[in-house]
Amino acid sequence: MGLFDLSLRHKLPLWGGLLIVVTALAITGSNLVLTRESIKKNMLVRSEILGRSLSRTLYSAISQDDVWRAYEIINFPISAEARHPSFQLEDMIVLDAKNRVFISTQPKRYPLQRDLASLGSEFSSLKARLEQNDGRMLVQESGRILLAIPLVAEGMNLGTLVLLHPGDYYQTSFDRVLKRNTWTTLVVLLILLPLTWLWGRRMASPLLQLTERMAELGQRLPAPLPERVYPHGDELGRLFQVYEQMRHELSDKEALERQIVKSDRLAALGRLTASMAHEINNPLGGLLTAVDTLKRHSRLDPIQAKVLPLLERGLAQIQDIVATLLVEAKAKSRNLTHQDVEDVHTLLAQEAKKRGVDWKWHNDLADTIVLPATLVRQVLINLVLNAVQAAGEQGRVSAHITTSGDNLLIDVGNDGSGITPELMEHLFEPFTGLNEEGQGLGLWITYQIVQQLHGHIEVDSLDDWTRFVVTLPTGAPE
């Protein structure tokens, strides 16, 4: 794994930190280079100013041959410099007109009256330059830095003041600046680096979460991102918004697919049931006719007389079940009226009262609705009975029958124990009982009727309220 394949968690802080360090070093470096130059220049200027201010009084001391006064004049700045080193003035030498030492701050090293050339190579070259000089200041850099200021008044050259600095005489000041700059840079880095690290983590963390979730996409619907993981409006924020949007759409799509699968299954089941019922109905009719013929036209021995009614009852039960399974909407029926609904109310009131159910009924229908009365009543009865049974003793049940636009709405609810998710999956399939009573065909029939009337049915079972809502389009059904 290469450097560029590192996790953003490391890469962002690393790159950020590297950028900051490089920037800090570049700024500090260029600053130092400039400072070094200006310090050097400044010090030469200060040295010259000192030399020139001393030269006036030195001129008078030399002209009066006053060695001691000259010594006092040059010694004062030297001892001040020793106490507070600022520009590394090492020594001063006053030369007379013949370039001999008149006085110096180091009389042992530069003895009085000694010829300048005999003091060392740097001084002999300085002497050579002084002899050709025409009264201007000389700067000689050869190891040490020598500043030679002529002591000239009214055109008379009485001698020269030589200021001696170590070759790196600006180094001390530079080191001080270097030290200060280094500390400043370190402090800035100490503040900026953790900030960058935090920023990198802050940027990388939501991206990592997003990446982990995106990786799950093929296998399952990924979990939603934590609330306010990145609540900003930049591109990254947009990315998270889009992700959430995509996740919602995927989730809706999955729910829709589940719904379609369920509907398909129910539809296939309906077709299967219907064709089976038809297939069974035909021989069943024959069988029942045969039993009837036997009963009517033959003399039966005692065993036959005992078995035949048994057979007849069994076949009749099969016929009932098949008839129930075979919901026929095509049967001609009159239109639904307000009274039809009230009849159901009356019919079921007894049952509700028996169970002690708290009962709310709201019938909001106009007089006539173009829907087959029998089927709608069947749906209403099934739903309300189910609700009453589910509510149990002292439960609450409500039924609202209203119209909304071109739709009839039947909303039936109860406060029973609700429908488990497992049961919900197979809710409208035949023989899936909500309770022990009955054959589990009530909802199947309801579903078939609603399908055939081109309506739809919705169930939601929340914590303490289970609702079935049937929507049926009014108008003439096929």
Q: Amino acid identity, residue 217?
A: L
Interaction mask 109-148, another protein, x per CB under 8 A: --xxx-----------------------------------
Nearer to another protein, 69 or 262 (CB): 69
67 binds another protein (CB under 8 A): yes
* CA distances to 9, 122, 179, 211 from 2, in Å: 15, 59, 38, 20
295 binds another protein (CB under 8 A): no
**Sole window of 67-75, 223-231, 298-306, 401-409 interacting with another protein (rule: CB under 8 A):** 67-75
Q: How far apart are the first and last CA of the chain?
A: 69
Is residue 343 within 8 A of residue 377, CB to CB? The reply is yes
3-state SS assignment for residue 16: helix
Nearer to another protein, 69 or 426 (CB): 69
71 binds another protein (CB under 8 A): yes
Is residue 419 within 8 A of residue 465, CB to CB? The reply is no
Of positions 1, 3, 5, 68, contacts another protein by CB under 8 A: 68
Nearer to another protein, 51 or 442 (CB): 51
C-alpha dihedral sign at 54, 55, 56, 59: positive
Phi, psi of 403, deg, nearest 5:
-115, 145
53 binds another protein (CB under 8 A): no
**Sole window of 60-68, 349-357, 361-369, 378-386 interacting with another protein (rule: CB under 8 A):** 60-68
91 binds another protein (CB under 8 A): no
Of positions 75, 205, 333, 368, contacts another protein by CB under 8 A: 75
Per-residue b/e over 406-430, b at no fewer than 16 CB within 10 Å?
eebbbbbbbbbebbeeeeeeebbbb
Which two three-digit tokens encode residue 235? 């591109």
CA angle 420, 424, 430 (to 5 degrees): 120
**Sole window of 59-67, 201-209, 225-233, 321-329 interacting with another protein (rule: CB under 8 A):** 59-67
Residue 81 CB, nearest approach to another protein (Å): 15
Phi, psi of 298, deg, nearest 5:
-125, 155
Residue 109 CB, nearest approach to another protein (Å): 9
* CA distances to 101, 395, 460 from 465, in Å: 116, 11, 8
From its phi and psi, is residue 453 left (phi > 0), alpha (psi between -120 and 50) or beta?
alpha
Of positions 27, 53, 65, 223, contacts another protein by CB under 8 A: 65
Residue that is written with structure tokens 């307000």 in the block: 338
78 binds another protein (CB under 8 A): no
Question: Which of 263, 320, 272, 266 is CA-nearest to residue 429?
Answer: 266
Residue 93 CB, nearest approach to another protein (Å): 13
Nearer to another protein, 96 or 415 (CB): 96
List, in order, residues 6 or more apart from 323 with CB less than 8 Å away.
277
469 binds another protein (CB under 8 A): no
**# residues contacting another protein (CB under 8 A):** 16
Is residue 240 within 8 A of residue 229, CB to CB? The reply is yes
Which two three-digit tokens encode residue 250? 């995927």
236 binds another protein (CB under 8 A): no
**Sole window of 66-74, 89-97, 215-223, 293-301 interacting with another protein (rule: CB under 8 A):** 66-74
R_g of the chain computed on alpha carbons: 55
350 binds another protein (CB under 8 A): no
**Sole window of 70-78, 195-203, 229-237, 266-274 interacting with another protein (rule: CB under 8 A):** 70-78
Which residues contact another protein (rule: CB under 8 A)?
Answer: 65-69, 71-72, 75-76, 103, 106-108, 111-113
